Amino acid sequence: MNYRNNGNMNAYIELYEAAKALVEALDKGAEKLLPQDIVDVVKLHSKLAVGSAMIPVPGADVVAGAANIWGMYIRINSKIGLSVKENVIKTISSGVATNLASYAAMVGVGSAIKAIPGIGTITGTALIAASLYAITLCAGYVYLQALTLLAKRNGSNFNPSDISNAIDEVLKHKDVIRNFIKTAKKDYKKEENAEINSIT
C-alpha cells in the first residue's frame, strides 16, 4: 500500500494511483475497467459536494454531503462489480464522512455561519465548499485504498463486511489523510480561480 507523506502531492494523481492499484488488485484488466472510470466517479461526486455547500439550511449541507459519499461508494461498487447492501454502505459512508470532517474544521463553522441571514449564507457557502469537495475526494481515496487492501489479501472474493475494518486501517495514516485533504482544497481553489479567470 502506497502511503506517501508528501505535502506537494496532487490529489488527482494520488486518486488515479489508488484506482489503478484497485483495478490491478481485482485483476480487472481483461474486463476493460479503467482506473480513470473510477476516478471520474469520485471527481463527479466531489463536484456535486460543492452543490450541497449551497444548501442554505445549516446542517442540511453536511447531511447532503454524507449522502453524496454514499452515492459515490455505490457507483464505485457498481463499476467494479462489488455487491454490498445499501445499509452497509450508508453506515460506512457516514463513518468516513464524520471521520474526515474532523480534518476540515471549516465544514462545521461554515454550516453554522449560514444561520446568519444574507452575508452568513454567502460566507458559510464559501467556507464549506472547498472543505466538502476535499472531504469527498478524500473519501473516495480512502475507499479505494481500503478495497485494494482487501483485494490484495483475499483476491476479488473478499467479504464486504470487512470493508469497515479496512477503512479504519487506512484512516490510521492521519498525516496522509491530512495532506490529501489539504492538497485537494488547493486543487479546488486552483480550479475555481481558473474558472473565474476564464469568465473574466
Domain limits, the chain = 11-199
pLDDT at res. 121 = 45
CB-based contact 22:41 (threshold 8 Å): no
The distance between the two most distant Cα atoms of the chain, rounded to a whole number of Å, is: 55
Provide the H-helix boundaries in 81-173. Answer: 86-101, 106-113, 119-154, 163-171
pTM of the model: 0.81
* pLDDT tens by residue, the chain, 200 residues: 444 444 445 899 999 999 999 999 988 655 678 899 999 999 999 989 887 766 655 556 667 778 899 999 999 999 988 888 888 898 898 888 888 877 765 444 344 444 444 444 444 455 677 888 889 999 999 999 999 999 998 876 777 778 999 999 999 999 999 899 889 888 887 776 665 556 65
**Which of 198, 184, 191, 195 lies closest to 7 in space, CA to CA?**
184
pLDDT at res. 186 = 86
Query: How much of the chain is in helix, strand and coil states, percent to nearest 5?
Result: 80, 0, 20
Calculated CA dihedral for residues 183, 107, 53, 127, nearest 10 degrees: -70
Q: Write the single-letter amino acid at 78.
A: S
pLDDT at res. 145 = 97
**173 vs 100: CA distance, rounded Å:** 12
CB-based contact 173:127 (threshold 8 Å): no
